[in-house]
Amino acid sequence: MSFILRQAWREMRNSRSFCFFYSLNLALGLIGFVVVDAFRESIESKVRNESKELLGADLAIRARRVITEEEIKQARNTLPVETREAKAVDFFSMAAGPTGRSRLVKVVAIDPGFPFHGTFKLEKGGEKSGNEIKLFHEDRLAWIYPEARAQLGIKMGEKLQLGEAKFRIADLIEEETGLTFQPTDLAPKVFISRKFLDHTNLLGEGSLAYHTHLFQLPQGIDTDTFGRGLEKALNSPEVRTYTHRQAGHRAGRLLRYLSDFLSLVSLVALFLACLGSGFLFHGFLTHRMPELATLVSLGATRRTALRIFLLQLFLLGIFAALPATLACSLLLPGLGGMISEMTGSKVEVWVSSRSILLTFAVAMGSGWLLALPALSKVRRLRPAELFQEAVRPGSKPSRMNLLLALPGLLAFWGLCLAQAHSDKLANVFFGCFLGSLILLYILARFGFGLGEKLFGKSRLSIRLAARSLARNRAGALTGFLAIGLGVLLITLIPQTHHGLGKEIGLDDPTGDLPSLFLFDLQEEQLNAVQSLLEKEGTPLANITPWIRGKIKTLKGMAYEKSQRQEEELNNPDEQRRNAFRNRSFNLSYREKLLGK
């Protein structure tokens, strides 16, 4: 065993409390980091592996109107002959139970064979693929989610009213796949066979419903190539083409944004933990300076002394990362259910090898970077002071020491960029963080000096406390920064909640904002709805005409959709810009919402 390793180990063996608290501190910060990283990794993996199940097919075309026979023919021409097809229609509607209680549901009318990939998990019928549910299409049956059952007060075997038709509840859905274009739905889904959709008479001229035509390609066919061909052939802004990869990407997008944001929050927790560990190390090293000077006087170089500490930080990083990853590896799979409940999507969370590697790298790297200002003391060590009786050997003071915090901050910025997946979000976050840090630093620096002057004639205990804060600058500043940032972090969530609440008028129940919206009423339906509601005693108060529009040209130039596929745009900023290009807008001639 080399001298450096032996010496590092001996020092750690005999400084157990320092090692314990250093590692514990870092491990706590790392746990947050690992959890969020594992969560994100699991989402990515789920989307990657289950994208076919999420779409229920290899390819799909989807429109807010009926896809014409001509368009389907065009699509067929671009696809291989053996391609299988199925149609599905989904829309929101009110449904009524046997007690007359009605609730909003999402009706999904499907063809036999749907889904081509994935299954329905039913309470009674068990797991069924698209080919195993032929009986479902033989009668007016409905499969509903348990939420709908509870909301409508309906039991198995009872009839559910959808428009003008009644459907018998044949089973309850535990889990299903297919047509997942968004991570969440406004209402629980009700599945019926498309064969009986017309019986409901719910869809008429101008009704808002999504019509999807799904394709299953023969085995071994490149979906992306055919997806591009299909999009080119249809060339319609109204009919969108989805490959399973795109659908998966869209479905996972919100969860990904959430995990990106959580990553940044976990980074602040990690930073605070590193700050704490860095402070502990600073104290440890300062205490060890005379022994370092002795080591140099015995013939060791400063480089050797430095290596001993670097190795110690490396080992302590491992000691911190080990329990953190181990705890997460053991506990996270058990928390999968809770996360699925929170996100509404079944996500199996586990700690991947990438997360583990990243955690170890962060644990060891952060230790080195944060210890840089302290370690620079070793370079400036004055072993000659060993001969001075009244002097404790230390290092030459340096004004440049603060600059050595820069690599740590730069690495933190790099981590923000890597974890947020958005330059803009990472930069804003880092800017705010750095701003808070500088502000707190200035506040503390001047505050402690001012405190010493202000309390110069106060009671002894106050006077001594103020003096101690002003003169033990490193400890006082580190503590103040850690507490300050922690408080900022803790108050961030309620502040955001309050801000959002104010924005949407939660704080002002007597304000002018409407409490309920009715949407997508067609002009010809308006009179009937108005008179119905008047009869019920709740007349419509605010009717705002909306026109749906999409930007086609900008300053005379065609405003084209980006040629790059959405899943190719890994940067959320690019995705947002691309989504904006393709977005439809609800336009109204009203300048503001009217009074109640």
For another protein, the binding residue among 98, 112, 163, 290 (CB under 8 A) is 290
Minimum CB distance to another protein, residue 302 (Å): 7
Minimum CB distance to another protein, residue 388 (Å): 5
Minimum CB distance to another protein, residue 367 (Å): 20
Q: Identify whether the C-beta of residue 55 lies closer than 8 Å to the C-beta of residue 179.
A: yes
For another protein, the binding residue among 68, 77, 182, 301 (CB under 8 A) is 301
Nearer to another protein, 63 or 293 (CB): 293
Binding mask 88-127 for another protein (x = CB under 8 A): ----------------------------------------
- Enumerate residues 387-416 that contact another protein by CB under 8 A: 387-389
Q: Give CA 120 to chain center in angstroms.
A: 27
Q: Which segment (39-47, 289-297, 357-365, 367-375) binds another protein by CB under 8 A?
A: 289-297
For another protein, the binding residue among 49, 297, 491, 525 (CB under 8 A) is 297
Q: Which segment (33-41, 293-301, 317-325, 456-464) binds another protein by CB under 8 A?
A: 293-301
DSSP 522-577: -HHHHHHHHHHHHHHT---------EEEE--EETTEE-PPPSS-GGG--SHHHHHH
Q: Identify whether the C-beta of residue 470 lies closer than 8 Å to the C-beta of residue 449.
A: yes
What is the 3-class SS of 467-534, one letter each residue?
HHHHHCHHHHHHHHHHHHHHHHHHHHHHHHHHHHHHHCCCCCCCCCCCCCCCCCCCHHHHHHHHHHHH
Minimum CB distance to another protein, residue 301 (Å): 5
> Quick check: 10 binds another protein (CB under 8 A)?
yes
Binding mask 373-392 for another protein (x = CB under 8 A): ----------xx-xxxx---
By three-state DSSP, how is residue 286 classified? helix
| Length of the chain as a residue count | 596
Nearer to another protein, 9 or 441 (CB): 9
Rounded alpha-carbon distances, angstroms, from residue 327 to 40, 330, 426, 575: 18, 5, 28, 35
> Quick check: 171 binds another protein (CB under 8 A)?
no
Q: Identify whether the C-beta of residue 138 lies closer than 8 Å to the C-beta of residue 195.
A: no
Distance CA 217, CA 221 (A): 7
Cis peptide before 188 (omega within 30 of 0): no
CB atoms within 10 A of CB 472: 12
- Mark out the alpha helices in 344-422 (DSSP H runs): 353-379, 406-420
Kindly provide the b/e burial profile for residues 542-554, where b requires at least 16 CB atoms within 10 angstroms of the residue's own CB: eeeeeeeeeeeee
> Quick check: 300 binds another protein (CB under 8 A)?
yes
Minimum CB distance to another protein, residue 394 (Å): 14
Minimum CB distance to another protein, residue 380 (Å): 14
Nearer to another protein, 140 or 377 (CB): 377
Nearer to another protein, 293 or 482 (CB): 293
Within 137-188, strands assigned E span 141-144, 159-162, 165-176
> Quick check: 299 binds another protein (CB under 8 A)?
yes
Minimum CB distance to another protein, residue 14 (Å): 4
Nearer to another protein, 11 or 41 (CB): 11
Q: What interhelical angle do 302-343 and 3-13 show, nearest 10? A: 60
The token pair at 20 is 């314990």
The token pair at 417 is 């960029």
For another protein, the binding residue among 14, 17, 353, 563 (CB under 8 A) is 14
For another protein, the binding residue among 298, 400, 547, 557 (CB under 8 A) is 298
Nearer to another protein, 3 or 559 (CB): 3
Distance CA 381, CA 227 (A): 66
- Enumerate residues 303-332 that contact another protein by CB under 8 A: 304
Nearer to another protein, 7 or 478 (CB): 7
Nearer to another protein, 83 or 312 (CB): 312
> Quick check: 588 binds another protein (CB under 8 A)?
no
> Quick check: 294 binds another protein (CB under 8 A)?
yes
The token pair at 187 is 């209402």
> Quick check: 495 binds another protein (CB under 8 A)?
no
List residues binding another protein (CB under 8 A): 3, 6-7, 10-11, 13-15, 290-291, 293-302, 304, 383-384, 386-389
